[in-house]
Amino acid sequence: MKKYSSFLTSEFSRFLLAGGTAAVVNYISRAILGNYMSFSASIVVAYFLGMTTAFILFRFCVFSTPKQPLKLSKQIPYFFLVNGFAIVQILIVSILVEKYALQSVANLFIRQEIAHFMGLLLPAISSFYGHKYLTYR
């Protein structure tokens, strides 16, 4: 049980809330952008909008400590590294789910919404540990 204790901390709860807020920004912007660009391109552009939201919320609401201010110049490269791994996960899952798992759903819009939502769920744990031990250590 000890190795799972970080999931039960208030830090992880704040991470999920902040990440959830960023995911909503990502999800809504992808739905809007999908009217103007391809599914894959809209996922990537929306991810950067959500990632900007996440960086701000994580920095000030989740991992920041008053005693030791976090150094922005060291955080940004790690933030992009962790999120680069996450966008690959999201993109692969979203495309595979949309193309293969949801073939029976006739409505393309519904199929893409479900696929993107499922893709967004995947990197929650890998991102938490990546940001906790790399970006905001």
Euclidean distance between CA atoms 117 and 30, whole angstroms: 10
Using CA atoms, how far apart are residues 109 and 117, in angstroms rounded to an integer? 12
Tell me the residue range of the domain where 96 lies.
2-135
Percent of the chain scoring above 90 in pLDDT: 17
Total domains in the fold of the chain: 1
How is residue 7 written in tokens?
């999931």
Q: What is the pLDDT of residues 57-110, one digit of tens each?
A: 988 888 766 665 567 788 888 888 998 898 898 889 888 988 888 878 788 888
User: Which CA distances in Å does 15 have to 39, 46, 93, 96?
Assistant: 27, 19, 22, 27
Helix (H) or strand (E) holding 51: helix 39-57
pLDDT at 52: 92
